[in-house]
Amino acid sequence: MIETESLTKKFGDLTAVDSLTLHVDEGEVFGFLGPNGAGKTTTIRMLACLISKTSGAAKIGDYEIGNSADQQKIRGIIGLVPDNVGLYEELSAYKNLDFYGRYYKVDESKRKERIEYFLKMLGLWDMRDLAAGTFSKGMKQKLAIARALIHDPQVLFLDEPTVNLDPEASKTVRDFILELKKEKKTVFLNTHNLDEAQRICDRIGILNTKLMAMGTPAELERSARGRKIVVQLESVSEAIISAVKKVGTSDVVVEDNKLIIGVGNPEKENPDVVSAIGAAGGRIQFVTEASSTLEDVYLKLVRSQ
């Protein structure tokens, strides 16, 4: 549904997005992770035909980004929720959706039907006549998502949809995104929230101007080089830590009575580590594997650049 090939955007001498190549399948929820200034919003803006690309190619469906004849068609099949929701604060929730329905030329009966559907689904129907400016951040975010869906787009771009939301409102938004997935909508989600990405995204791309990694959350976790074991002891002493380090690993972190030890080859090194701890007087209660988290992968990739 979305394809990019060496997509690049430069602002003068600054490269905001560098040779981005990716594809997002129809009905997929794709998460874009990256620090501030990584180029996530710029990517969405290029894909939404809001700003031009400097080089490379990109397609949404059968339409080509950068082809002037396709720009309006692309905007007609996508919905965008920007990081600042940008509602018409003086207008009611209903009118906000109604005007956007008109902008997308949704006919009146369909417009009414969809407005009612979304406002009821998002629990805003009883507040439909209240000015959007009086809404909480969560309600505004939900209304902005409904606005982006009013014309039944095939692709939805969400830029930090849960930022500044309380946990309950975040959950509502996440649940709504999962509902969209059931409807086979393609969702392209920019987020800083690793937990959110892990929960709702089929695949994740980690961007820091360049695409650093891409895959399912499980694939990314597995991709982190090296593994860790957690050894729970009755008590930890300097002698035990030294003994473990002598075995050959310097990656030892102490948390309470736990040692978190980085091991390159667990099958070979674990028996030596356990023996060394025992020889140093350590009494082992549990040994478990600590797999890398998405956070580990993210930080490793972002810091490596």
Task: Kindly list the residues in this chain that would bind another protein in the complex (CB under 8 A).
Answer: 11, 45, 48-52, 72-73, 75-76, 78-82, 84-91, 95, 99-100, 102-105, 144, 147-148
Nearer to another protein, 88 or 125 (CB): 88
Helix (H, G, I), strand (E, B) or coil at 112: helix
Name residues whose C-beta falls within 8 Å of residue 182's C-beta, 6 or more positions apart in sequence.
none
Q: CA angle 74-41-150, nearest 5°?
A: 45
The C-alpha atoms of residue 178 and residue 245 are separated, in whole angstroms, by 46
Nearer to another protein, 49 or 139 (CB): 49
CB of 85 to another protein, least distance (A): 7
CB of 283 to another protein, least distance (A): 60
The C-alpha atoms of residue 136 and residue 16 are separated, in whole angstroms, by 33
Nearer to another protein, 49 or 252 (CB): 49
The C-alpha atoms of residue 282 and residue 174 are separated, in whole angstroms, by 45
Nearer to another protein, 48 or 229 (CB): 48
Q: What is the DSSP string of 70-88?
A: HHHHHHHHEEEE-SS----
Helix (H, G, I), strand (E, B) or coil at 96: helix
CB of 97 to another protein, least distance (A): 12
DSSP for residue 144 = H
Nearer to another protein, 36 or 250 (CB): 36
CB atoms within 10 A of CB 211: 21
CB of 51 to another protein, least distance (A): 5
CB atoms within 10 A of CB 195: 13
CB of 198 to another protein, least distance (A): 28
CB of 69 to another protein, least distance (A): 12
Nearer to another protein, 105 or 225 (CB): 105
